[in-house]
Homo-oligomer: A and B are copies of this chain.
Amino acid sequence: MSTLETGKPPSDKEGAAGREKSADPLMVMSVEKAFRVLSAFGRQHQTMSLSQVASVAEMDLSSAQRFTHTLTKLGFLKKDRETKRFELSSKTLDLGYHFLRGNRLVDKAMPYLMHLSKETEETVNLTMPEDTEIIFVSRFLSRHVLNTDVIVGTRMPAFCTAPGIAMLSRLPEAEAVAIIDRSNLKAHTPSTTWRREDLLVKIRQSAQQGYATAFEEFYHGDASIAAAILDHRGRPEGAVNVAVSCSRYTHDEVVSRFSSLVIAAAHAISRV
Give A residues with C-beta under 8 Å from B: 2, 4, 6, 24, 26-28, 30-32, 34-35, 38-39, 41-43, 45-46, 65-67, 69-71, 73-76, 87-104, 110, 114, 117-118, 121, 128, 130, 135, 137, 140-141, 143, 146, 148, 151-154
Residues of B within 8 A of A2 (CB): 73, 75, 91, 94
Tell me whether A95 and B38 are in contact (CB under 8 A).
Answer: yes
Nearest-CB distance from A164 to chain B (Å)? 14
Please indicate which of the listed interface residues A6, A140, A152 has the most CB atoms of chain B within 10 Å of its own CB: A152
Instruction: Count copies of this chain in the complex.
Output: 2
Select from chain B the residue with minimum beta-carbon distance to A97: B153
Write the nearest CB–CB distance from A249 to chain B, whole angstroms. Answer: 19
In the complex, chain B residues whose CB is within 8 Å of the CB of A151:
97, 100-101, 152
17 extra A-B contacts, CB within 8 A, seeds A28-B67, A91-B130: A2-B73, A4-B75, A24-B73, A27-B70, A27-B73, A35-B74, A39-B95, A88-B102, A90-B99, A90-B128, A90-B130, A100-B151, A114-B148, A117-B146, A118-B146, A141-B141, A151-B152
Q: Across the interface, which residues of B come within 8 angstroms of A75, CB to CB? A: 2, 4
**Do B99 and A31 touch across chains, with their CB atoms under 8 A apart?**
no
Cβ contact within 8 Å between A46 and B102: yes
Given contacts A26-B69, A99-B89, A148-B110, contact A94 B153 (CB under 8 A): yes
Which residues of chain B have C-beta atoms less than 8 A from A101's C-beta?
A: 42-43, 151
Which chain B residues lie closer than 8 Å to A154 at the CB level?
97
Among A39, A65, A101: residue with most chain B CB under 10 A: A101
> Hey, which chain B residues are within 8 Å of A146, CB to CB?
114, 117-118, 140
Shortest CB distance A230–B (Å): 16
Q: Closest 7 interchain pairs by CB?
A: A97-B153, A93-B153, A30-B30, A93-B96, A96-B96, A88-B99, A92-B95
Q: Which residue of B lies closest to A133 (CB)?
A: B90
